[in-house]
């Protein structure tokens, strides 16, 4: 997956709106853990495809992916399927990149 | 269950309320009650809610006849004036093809008797409806004895298509009534309640060709139409035979005016003129008949505790199996349609006795599942059920599966007090009403600390479940809400009204096990004395950054 710069401003805005509605209850934008890990740095430590899988196919990830499983052992709450389309997950990544300081 | 062309279509199920006469419509995509309509001019809604072949109407018959209490009549009469003053009705509840919306289209005023069960015709008989009638003795006391005097009661044949025509042509009388009509809106997650004030009543004494009685031995319960629509099987609880009526013969008898007399102004057809034949010595206490679509009928026998299989054309018993014990209704998946699936029959029993470990004076009820695909019925499973299992229909899961709603999309939630995300959660005051727009997600509420409520306030918790995954409801309960708590589906908003009756800090919590930290899903609300100056504040997690909370 290629992630061009500069960021798509519209996507960042849509991603932020989705975050407010469906993710904010569990994820902070800092590195502080709430229910799930804080999102600061997430685009640096994870591949974009991995993040998209986590968002759109979380049950498979928690069953198969060792990194996701390691997080579940710490958090002990399953990251929920929030009914996000592929398209919206891409926009969420744009918002995460902007949160990580990309321009 | 709803049908199209006489086959189950998996859209809606209908349920009748007996004591408060009404019909509910349940969506088979959400398994939610979408609508409830009260039935006017009715006392005990039995023989309901059976449907016409294309679900044009659901019917509602009054079990008890009574002096109609609409405002044109004076119902304050002696109970022993039954014969003179008591009347029955059957009502036709129109169902909108697209939305399922119900309305009382017309009612038919009938002589005072009891109406028990009913069944819509199909195929050749699709314009007709059949109702079993007992207490044609018109007894008003000790019915156990006094309503069991005559050898024959009636099955009533009613031409609903003609009734519909007459109602549309203005041949009915407008009756002033009061009944409630409640409709649930899936978009706003709220319901509205309307009081309706009028119905159209048809009188078969004037409109001569809409209702006929057929003599039927003795105190009939079931009156079941076979898949072809040609045969109507009566099940007289006290009868020694199963009479099978022929629709073609009924039509001929009506054309020939083969009447043996009138009952309260309604023609009674000659028994022999409408009878296809009788199944002799089938068993004791027949109640209800279902069909397999291969020419066989299955009748339940309460007194002799068995299911009896018989050939409809030949009227011969071909097999019988015991049930444990005292079977009431029975169900073949698709049995009451044009195309029964015909592989299984379920026996719903009324009395259990020795089947299970003792649990005090009452035992759980039992049911049995039989394989009916071969010549002989075979017991597959004997299992407990809760409550007295009554009439039921079964359909293949495939008719429902693909339409089943898994979540309510949070984007489509138009509840007036929805919180779309934790940022929208808030607490605000309107006079003495305090609204709490709250969210829940695994596993916390926003807000979970609320202060500034005072004695004398009414608190409305509007809880939005932010989950968007199948089968993740959250609950909401608070001490002092004495008769309700919430169970909120993914993406849904529900409201609970709570009127605190004392000063103090009260806990609220999630009642549906939602994650490993479900037990932590709780919060507190502080109630201060009347006139206190404690300001309204709310929060979750004192360090939480994006709350919008006041602290
Ligand atoms: Cu919960």
Q: How far apart are CA B296 and CA B223, in angstroms?
A: 16
- Write down the pLDDT at residue B546: 44
Say whether A82 and B541 touch across the interface (CB within 8 A): no
Q: Cα(B452) to centroid of ligand 1, in Å?
A: 25
A103 vs B237: which has the higher pLDDT: A103
From B442, B468, B472, residue closest to A35, measured CB to CB: B442
B71 pLDDT higher than 70: no
- Choose the mutation target among B465, B466, B470, B490 for the interface with A, i.e. most A CBs under 10 Å: B466
Taking the alpha carbons at both ends of chain B, their separation in whole angstroms is: 54
Q: How far apart are CA B71 and CA B85, in angstroms?
A: 15
From B411, B469, B516, residue closest to A80, measured CB to CB: B469
Sort out which chain A residues have CB atoms less than 8 A from B470's CB and list them. Answer: 81
Between helix A86-99 and helix A9-18 the angle, nearest 10°, is 100
Instruction: Give mean pLDDT, residues B387-393.
Output: 84
B109 pLDDT higher than 80: yes
CB atoms within 10 A of CB B202: 23
From B410, B469, B545, residue closest to A21, measured CB to CB: B410
B549 pLDDT higher than 80: no
B450 pLDDT higher than 80: yes
Q: How far apart are CA B349 and CA B17, in angstroms?
A: 21
Q: Which two tokens stand for residue B545?
A: 């950054």
Q: How far apart are CA B293 and CA B290, in angstroms?
A: 9
Q: Which of A20-34, B59-73, B221-235 has the lowest mean pLDDT?
A: B59-73
Q: Cα(B24) to centroid of ligand 1, in Å?
A: 30
CB-based contact B86:B65 (threshold 8 Å): yes
Average pLDDT, chain B: 93
| B37 bridge partner residues | B23, B181
Position B544 confidence tier, pLDDT thresholds 50, 70, 90: very low
A78 pLDDT higher than 70: yes
Q: Cα(B72) to centroid of ligand 1, in Å?
A: 54
CB-based contact B7:B337 (threshold 8 Å): yes
B483 vs B454: which has the higher pLDDT: B454
Sort out which chain B residues have CB atoms less than 8 A from A81's CB and list them. Answer: 468-470
Q: Which two tokens stand for residue A25?
A: 């209850």
Q: Where are the alpha helices (DSSP H) in B321-407?
A: 398-401
The predicted complex's ipTM stands at 0.87
Sort out which chain A residues have CB atoms less than 8 A from B516's CB and list them. Answer: 76-77
- Choose the mutation target among B409, B546, B547 for the interface with A, i.e. most A CBs under 10 Å: B546
Nearest to B287 by CA among B338, B234, B212, B243: B234
Number of domains in chain A: 1
Q: How far apart are CA B362 and CA B477, in angstroms?
A: 31
Does some domain include residue A16? yes
Q: How far apart are CA A59 and CA A82, in angstroms?
A: 11
Position B362 confidence tier, pLDDT thresholds 50, 70, 90: confident
Cβ neighbors of B172 (< 8 A, separation 6 or more) are B106, B166, B200, B201, B202, B203
Q: Which of A10-24, B125-139, B386-400, B402-416 has the lowest mean pLDDT?
A: B386-400
DSSP state of B513: -
Proportion of chain A above pLDDT 70, given as a percent: 100
Nearest to B529 by CA among B502, B498, B497: B502
B454 pLDDT higher than 70: yes
Q: Coil, strand or helix: which one is B106?
A: strand
| B349 bridge partner residues | B327
Nearest Cα of chain A lies from the Cα of B429 at a distance, in angstroms, of 24
From A21, A28, A77, residue closest to B516, measured CB to CB: A77
Instruction: Give mean pLDDT, residues B55-78.
Output: 87
Proportion of chain B above pLDDT 90, given as a percent: 85
Q: How far apart are CA A68 and CA A72, in angstroms?
A: 6
pLDDT, tens digit, for every residue of B282-292? 999 999 999 99
- Write down the pLDDT at residue B356: 84
Instruction: Assess whether the previous peptide bond of A6 is cis (omega < 30° from 0).
Output: yes
- Write down the pLDDT at residue B345: 97
Q: Tell me, yes or no, if B546 comes closer than 8 A to chain A by beta carbon.
A: yes
HSE value, Cβ hemisphere, 13 Å, CA-based, for B376? 5
Residues of chain A in Cβ contact (below 8 Å) with chain B: 20-22, 24-26, 28-30, 34-35, 76-78, 80-83
Sort out which chain A residues have CB atoms less than 8 A from B446's CB and list them. Answer: 25
Domains contained in chain B, CATH given: 3-280 (2.130.10.10), 284-405 (2.130.10.10), 410-539 (2.60.40.420)
Position B148 confidence tier, pLDDT thresholds 50, 70, 90: confident
Length in residues, chain B? 551
DSSP secondary structure, B245-310, as one string: EEHHHHHHHHHTT-EEEEETTEEEE-HHHHEEEEEES--SSEEEEEE-SSSEEEEEETTTTEEEEE
pLDDT, tens digit, for every residue of B151-195? 889 999 999 999 999 999 999 999 999 999 999 999 999 999 999
Q: Which two tokens stand for residue B535?
A: 């300001």
Instruction: Give mean pLDDT, residues B301-325.
Output: 95
- Write down the pLDDT at residue A29: 97
The CATH number covering residue A48 comes to 1.10.760.10
Range of the domain at A48: 9-99
Say whether A28 and B466 touch across the interface (CB within 8 A): no
Q: Which two tokens stand for residue B49?
A: 């809610």
Does some domain include residue A43? yes
Instruction: Give mean pLDDT, residues B57-82.
Output: 87
- Write down the pLDDT at residue B547: 40
CA triplet B412, B417, B422: central angle to 5 degrees? Answer: 80
Q: How far apart are CA B29 and CA B309, in angstroms?
A: 35
pLDDT, tens digit, for every residue of B217-264? 988 999 999 999 999 999 888 888 999 999 999 999 999 999 999 999
CB atoms within 10 A of CB A17: 15
B447 vs B365: which has the higher pLDDT: B447
Q: How far apart are CA B51 and CA B121, in angstroms?
A: 9
Q: Which two tokens stand for residue B21?
A: 């006469």
Does some domain include residue A31? yes
Does some domain include residue A57? yes
Sort out which chain B residues have CB atoms less than 8 A from A57's CB and list them. Answer: none
User: Among residues 516-545 of chain B, which lie with CB inside 8 Å of chain A?
Assistant: 516-517, 541, 544-545
Position B352 confidence tier, pLDDT thresholds 50, 70, 90: confident
Nearest to B34 by CA among B54, B59, B11, B52: B11
Q: How far apart are CA B390 and CA B452, in angstroms?
A: 51
From A26, A76, A82, residue closest to B468, measured CB to CB: A82
Say whether A22 and B443 touch across the interface (CB within 8 A): no
Does some domain include residue A64? yes
Does some domain include residue A60? yes
- Choose the mutation target among A62, A80, A84, A95 for the interface with B, i.e. most B CBs under 10 Å: A80
| B346 bridge partner residues | B331, B369
From B420, B467, B546, residue closest to A80, measured CB to CB: B467
Instruction: Give mean pLDDT, residues A43-57.
Output: 96
pLDDT, tens digit, for every residue of B491-535? 999 999 999 999 999 999 999 999 888 999 999 999 999 999 999
- Write down the pLDDT at residue B72: 64
- Write down the pLDDT at residue B388: 77
Instruction: Give mean pLDDT, residues B381-390.
Output: 85
């Amino acid at each position: 997956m290629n992630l061009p710069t500069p960021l798509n401003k519209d996507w960042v805005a849509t991603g932020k709106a989705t975050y407010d509605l469906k993710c904010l209850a569990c994820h902070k934008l800092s590195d502080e853990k709430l229910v799930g890990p804080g999102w600061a740095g997430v685009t640096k430590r994870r591949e974009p495809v991995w993040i998209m899988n986590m968002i759109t196919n979380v049950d498979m990830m928690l069953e198969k992916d060792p990194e996701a499983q390691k997080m579940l052992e710490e958090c002990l709450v399953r990251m929920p399927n929030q009914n996000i389309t592929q398209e919206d997950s891409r926009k969420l990544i744009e918002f995460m990149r902007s949160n990580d300081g990309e321009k | 269950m709803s049908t199209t062309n006489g086959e189950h279509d998996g859209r809606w199920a209908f349920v009748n309320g007996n004591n408060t006469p009404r019909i509910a419509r349940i969506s088979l995509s959400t398994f939610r009650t979408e609508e409830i309509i009260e039935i006017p001019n009715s006392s005990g809604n039995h023989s309901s809610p059976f449907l016409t072949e294309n679900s044009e109407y659901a019917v509602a018959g009054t079990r008890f006849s009574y002096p109609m209490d609409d405002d044109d009549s004076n119902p304050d009469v002696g109970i022993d004036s039954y014969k003179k003053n008591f009347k029955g009705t059957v009502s036709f509840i129109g169902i909108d093809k697209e939305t399922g919306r119900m309305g009382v289209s017309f009612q038919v005023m009938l002589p005072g008797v009891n109406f028990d069960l009913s069944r819509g015709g199909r195929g050749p008989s699709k314009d007709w409806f059949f109702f079993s009638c007992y207490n044609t003795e018109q007894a008003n006391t000790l019915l156990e004895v006094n309503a069991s005097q005559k050898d024959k009661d009636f099955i009533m044949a009613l031409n609903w298509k003609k009734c519909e025509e007459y109602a549309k042509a203005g041949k009915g009388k407008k009756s002033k009534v009061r009944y409630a009509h409640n409709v649930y809106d899936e978009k706003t997650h709220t319901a509205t309640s309307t009081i309706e004030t009028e119905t159209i009543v048809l009188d078969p004494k004037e409109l001569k060709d809409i209702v006929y009685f057929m003599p039927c031995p003795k105190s009939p319960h079931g009156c079941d139409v076979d898949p072809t629509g040609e045969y109507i099987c009566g099940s007289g609880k006290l009868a020694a035979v199963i009479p099978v009526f022929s629709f073609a013969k009924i039509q001929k008898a009506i054309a020939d005016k083969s009447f043996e007399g009138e009952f309260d102004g309604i023609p009674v057809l000659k028994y022999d003129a409408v009878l296809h034949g009788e199944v002799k010595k089938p068993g004791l206490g027949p109640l209800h008949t279902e069909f397999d679509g291969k020419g066989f009928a299955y009748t339940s026998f309460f007194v002799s505790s068995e299911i009896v299989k018989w050939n409809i054309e030949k009227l011969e018993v071909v097999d019988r199996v015991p049930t444990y014990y005292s079977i009431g209704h029975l169900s073949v998946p698709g049995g009451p349609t044009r195309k029964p699936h015909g592989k299984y029959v379920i026996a719903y029993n009324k009395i259990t006795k020795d089947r299970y470990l003792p649990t005090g004076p009452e035992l759980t009820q039992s049911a049995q599942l039989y394989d009916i695909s071969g010549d002989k019925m075979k017991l597959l499973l004997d299992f407990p059920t809760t409550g007295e299992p009554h009439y039921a229909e079964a359909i293949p899961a495939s008719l429902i599966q693909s339409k089943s709603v898994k979540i309510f999309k949070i984007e489509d939630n138009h509840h007036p007090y929805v919180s779309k995300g934790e940022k929208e959660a808030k607490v605000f005051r309107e006079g003495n009403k305090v609204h709490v727009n709250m969210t829940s997600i695994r596993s916390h509420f926003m807000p979970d600390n609320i202060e500034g409520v005072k004695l004398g306030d009414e608190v409305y918790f509007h809880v939005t479940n932010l989950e968007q995954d199948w089968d993740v409801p959250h609950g909401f309960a608070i001490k002092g809400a004495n008769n309700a708590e919430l169970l909120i589906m993914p993406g849904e908003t529900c409201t609970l009204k709570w009127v605190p009756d004392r000063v103090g800090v009260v806990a609220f919590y999630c009642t549906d096990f939602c994650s490993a930290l479900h037990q932590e899903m709780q919060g507190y609300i502080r109630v201060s004395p009347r006139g206190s100056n404690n300001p309204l504040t709310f929060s979750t997690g004192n360090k939480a950054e994006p709350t919008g909370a006041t602290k």
